[in-house]
Structure 1
C-alpha cells in the first residue's frame, strides 16, 4: 500500500504505523499510513476485516479519525490485484483533505505519558510487561 501511495501517486512519504492523538493527548488510533501534510489516513483491510467484531472496530476507528478532521481511505485485498480503484480513492481523499482543510484537531506528537513503540529500538527496550501489554497483537 505504501509503495502505491508513493510510487504510483507520487505522494509524500507517509508515516507508517504512527500513533495519532487528539489535542488533549488522547490516543485516536494508529493507522497503517498517514499523510501528515494533507491529513489522510490509509488503512489496509484484508479478509479478517470483513465481519464481526473486527469489522465493527474498523468502523469505529474510521469514525474517530474522521471526527478528528482526518480524511480516510481503505485498501482491500481485491485492490492488491488491480490497484486502480484504490489509487483513485486515495487521490480523491487527498484532494478533499487539501481542499476542505478542516481545523486540525489531531497531532502526531505524543503526550508525556505515552510509551512509544514506533521503531524497532523502542520496541526492544520495552520491559516484558510492556511488551505483553503494547505488542500482544504483533511481533516485537
Structure 2
C-alpha cells in the first residue's frame, strides 16, 4: 500500500461516524477519492430508500478526501450542494470525488454517488459539488 492510501485510511479510521457506518476508502490520490459502504436496513428511511442524509455524508466525505489528496490533510468542508437523482435502494454505495480546482485556501470538488449491484453495474443516484477550506499546511 502506498503512503497516500495509508494516510487516507488512517484519517478515515479516526472518524467515529465513518467507523459506525462501515465506510471504506478504496481509492485515494491524484485529486480523487472513492469511498464505499454497504447498504443496510438500518440506513433506510420510511419508504425503504437509503436516507438522503447518508448520501450527503458520502458526498461531504468524498469531496473532502479528494481535496486532501491534492493539498494534504488540513481540510474542512465549507459547503456543498447535492442533487438526488434517484433513490438508492440496494447494493453498495460508491462515492467518487474529484478535484475541479485547487487553490491555496480553497478547493472545489465534485462527486458522483452510485449504487453498485452484485454484477458491478453502477447506477447514478446523486451528484454534488462543494468547497473545501484549506485550514493549515499540508499534512501527509
The two structures share one fold, judged by TM-score above 0.5: no
Greater per-residue helix proportion: 1
Q: With the length of structure 2 as denominator, give the TM-score of the two structures.
A: 0.31
Q: Given the two structures, how large is their TM-score scaled by the length of structure 1? A: 0.31
Greater C-alpha radius of gyration: 1
Structure having the larger proportion of residues in strand: 2
